[in-house]
């Protein structure tokens, strides 16, 4: 079904109104030599029942967090979210509306996005946030550009312990615009403040450090950003996990000027990597240089509280080549899910969720350490994710567990992680969804796999 609604009588009435005999007249302007007369080489149309069968069939060939306990993380986490999110987000008034350019017809979306911005600002301990970007990786790139645009400098320092895909995207985005990336080498899985100090210069616009980092280690944001701030105007850019912000010191508490992160953990399904949402918060001084959409609170002509998109002169549809970013479509519906998630849990519920992640991850790490030959790769503090050194080939461990219905974690070596490591590290994430039973079962499997 192509979802059109006209019958032949109606079509004829419309032809008559236009004054044409056939539909082809409307396409006469197209030169014959470029017309696609033979038709598209695609499979014939499917009815809805056939579509449902075909999609269910393809879905049945996938196994994931729905039928295996999932200990995979590295930027995407199997967190719980309440059923009301799927129900509310299905409302056509949210699902099928456009970007709320028309304030009088979009107060619902606008108010929700304003609330989202405020929640993200509070969650990160900063002043303002935008209404979302594509994902965590592109948000990091936008933060780098925000720092170079506001300082007119052309170098950023980047923690080598950041997610390798975020680094890869940053390299792509910065490659043709004359901005230098200087990598900060790690010491024991973290960035030492001395390493930041050694690379600082008047030319550095921003220092980008992710915490927890790719190994799950909690970085010393305070010290790294203190080094950055010894050079006036250099921005401390924190790449954060939004769940961790409910338990551990926030980017703002640690002196960050800009905070960016992957918003997927806030009520969004794993979705094989997307759609997710990029979060971007900053100090107030960045307001007029922010990328992406911003919702502002104002009044209507009769004095009522009202919301509208604001500071649009930053954006591509007004400013063109001089816009702060080319971003137009963002991740509105994902931001809507995130705000519903945060509203349902509040600080109290999110803090409970984050605490459970902390306790469970530490329980599991402790149990794995009791196994012969298994050890933590790094000694530093971690939140919900940690890295272990397998006493045998990590890929065999992963295969062994997978064959027994477990996703034990992410192997750091190999192409998928951009050759992050040639070693035997397994990066294990634990959310509040993992039970003691599942963790004990995983430990038994790891033991068996390494015998």
Q: Which of residues 221-250 bind another protein (CB under 8 A)?
A: 244-250
Beta bridge partners of 437: none
**Choice from 34, 152, 232, 372 touching another protein (CB under 8 A):** 34
Instruction: For another protein, give the closer residue by CB, 45 or 451.
Output: 45
Q: For 188, list phi and psi in degrees, rounded to 5.
A: 55, 45
Q: Strands 278-282 and 258-262: what pairing?
A: antiparallel
Q: Are 325 and 291 in contact (CB under 8 A)?
A: yes
Which residues, 95 to 124, sit near another protein by CB under 8 A? 95-100, 102-109, 111-115, 117-119, 121-124
> Which 8-state DSSP code applies to residue 424?
-
138 in contact with another protein (CB under 8 A):
yes
DSSP reduced 3-state for 144: helix
CB of 331 to another protein, least distance (A): 5
Q: For 316, list phi and psi in degrees, rounded to 5.
A: -60, -35
**Cα–chain-centroid distance for residue 365?**
26
CB of 451 to another protein, least distance (A): 22
CB of 270 to another protein, least distance (A): 5
CB of 185 to another protein, least distance (A): 21
CB of 22 to another protein, least distance (A): 10
285 in contact with another protein (CB under 8 A):
no
| From 182-190, 198-206, 229-237, 298-306, span contacting another protein (CB under 8 A) | 298-306
**Choice from 310, 393, 396, 450 touching another protein (CB under 8 A):** 310
Burial (CB < 10 A; 0-12, 13-18, 19+), residue 3, is: exposed
**Choice from 184, 200, 207, 407 touching another protein (CB under 8 A):** 407
Instruction: For another protein, give the closer residue by CB, 48 or 372.
Output: 48
Beta bridge partners of 307: 297
Instruction: For another protein, give the closer residue by CB, 102 or 201.
Output: 102
**Cα–chain-centroid distance for residue 271?**
12
CB of 156 to another protein, least distance (A): 16
Which residues, 40 to 79, sit near another protein by CB under 8 A? 40-46, 48, 51-52, 54-67, 70, 72, 74-76, 78
**Choice from 69, 136, 206, 265 touching another protein (CB under 8 A):** 136
Q: Strands 385-389 and 305-309: what pairing?
A: unpaired
451 in contact with another protein (CB under 8 A):
no
Q: Strands 305-309 and 278-282: what pairing?
A: unpaired
CB of 148 to another protein, least distance (A): 12
20 in contact with another protein (CB under 8 A):
yes
CB of 186 to another protein, least distance (A): 19
Q: How far is CA 171 from CA 168, 279, 376, in A?
A: 5, 19, 30
176 in contact with another protein (CB under 8 A):
yes
First-to-last CA distance in the chain?
56
**The 410-411 sheet, strands edge to edge:** 375-376, 385-389, 425-429, 410-411
Residues in contact with another protein, counted by CB under 8 A, come to a total of 209
HSE-up of residue 187 (Cα within 13 Å, Cβ side): 7
Q: What are all long-range contacts of 402-407, with beta carbons under 8 Å and residues at least 24 apart?
A: 402/68, 404/445, 405/67, 405/68, 405/69, 406/68, 406/69, 406/71, 406/441, 406/442, 406/445, 407/64, 407/65, 407/68, 407/69, 407/70, 407/71, 407/72
Which residues, 187 to 216, sit near another protein by CB under 8 A? none
| From 190-198, 224-232, 330-338, 441-449, span contacting another protein (CB under 8 A) | 330-338
**Choice from 12, 86, 188, 444 touching another protein (CB under 8 A):** 86
Instruction: For another protein, give the closer residue by CB, 15 or 447.
Output: 15
CA-nearest of 402, 363, 444, 425 to 69 is 402
CB of 242 to another protein, least distance (A): 9
Which residues, 338 to 367, sit near another protein by CB under 8 A? 340, 342-356, 358-360, 362-363, 366
> How is residue 11 written in tokens?
């079509």
Helix (H) or strand (E) holding 224: helix 221-229
CB of 230 to another protein, least distance (A): 22
**Choice from 225, 276, 386, 406 touching another protein (CB under 8 A):** 276
Q: Are 304 and 159 in contact (CB under 8 A)?
A: no
CB of 421 to another protein, least distance (A): 14
217 in contact with another protein (CB under 8 A):
no
442 in contact with another protein (CB under 8 A):
no
């Amino acid at each position: 079904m192509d979802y059109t609604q006209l019958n032949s009588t109606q079509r004829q009435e419309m032809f008559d109104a236009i004054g044409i005999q056939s539909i082809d007249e409307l396409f006469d302007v197209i030169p014959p030599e470029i017309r696609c007369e033979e038709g598209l080489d695609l499979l014939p149309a499917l009815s809805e029942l056939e579509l449902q069968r075909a999609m269910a069939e393809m879905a049945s060939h996938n196994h994931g967090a729905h039928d295996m306990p999932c200990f995979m993380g590295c930027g995407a986490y199997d967190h719980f979210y309440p059923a009301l999110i799927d129900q509310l987000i299905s409302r056509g008034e949210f699902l099928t509306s456009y970007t709320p350019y028309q304030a009088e017809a979009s107060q619902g979306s606008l108010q929700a996005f304003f609330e989202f911005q405020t929640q993200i600002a509070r969650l990160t301990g900063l002043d303002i946030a935008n209404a979302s970007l594509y994902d965590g990786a592109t948000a990091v790139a936008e933060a780098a550009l925000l720092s170079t645009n506001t300082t007119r400098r052309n170098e950023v320092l980047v923690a080598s312990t950041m997610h390798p895909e975020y680094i890869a995207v940053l390299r792509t985005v910065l490659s043709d615009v004359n901005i230098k990336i200087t990598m900060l080498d790690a010491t024991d899985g973290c960035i030492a403040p001395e390493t930041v100090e050694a690379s600082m210069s008047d030319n550095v616009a921003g220092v980008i450090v992710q915490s927890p980092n790719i190994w799950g280690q909690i970085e010393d944001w305070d010290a790294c950003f203190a080094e950055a701030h010894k050079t006036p105007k250099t921005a401390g850019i924190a790449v954060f996990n939004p769940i961790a912000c409910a338990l551990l010191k926030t980017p703002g508490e640690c002196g960050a000027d800009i905070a960016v992160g992957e918003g997927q953990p806030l009520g969004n399904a794993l979705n094989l990597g997307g759609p997710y949402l990029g979060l971007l918060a900053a100090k107030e001084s960045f307001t007029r240089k922010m990328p992406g959409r911003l919702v502002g609170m104002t009044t209507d002509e009769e004095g009522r509280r009202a919301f509208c998109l604001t500071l649009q002169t930053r954006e591509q549809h007004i400013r063109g080549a001089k816009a702060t970013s080319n971003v137009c479509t963002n991740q509105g519906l994902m931001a809507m899910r995130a705000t519903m998630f945060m509203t349902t849990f509040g600080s109290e519920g999110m803090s409970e969720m984050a605490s459970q992640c902390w306790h469970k991850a530490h329980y599991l790490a402790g149990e794995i350490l009791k196994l012969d030959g298994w050890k933590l790769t790094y000694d530093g503090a971690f939140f919900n994710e940690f890295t272990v050194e397998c006493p045998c080939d990590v890929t065999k461990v992963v295969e062994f567990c997978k064959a027994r219905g477990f996703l034990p974690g992410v192997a750091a070596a190999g192409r998928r992680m951009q050759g992050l490591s040639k070693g035997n590290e397994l990066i294990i994430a634990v959310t509040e969804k993992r039970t003691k039973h599942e963790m004990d079962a995983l430990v038994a499997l790891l033991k068996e796999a390494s015998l």
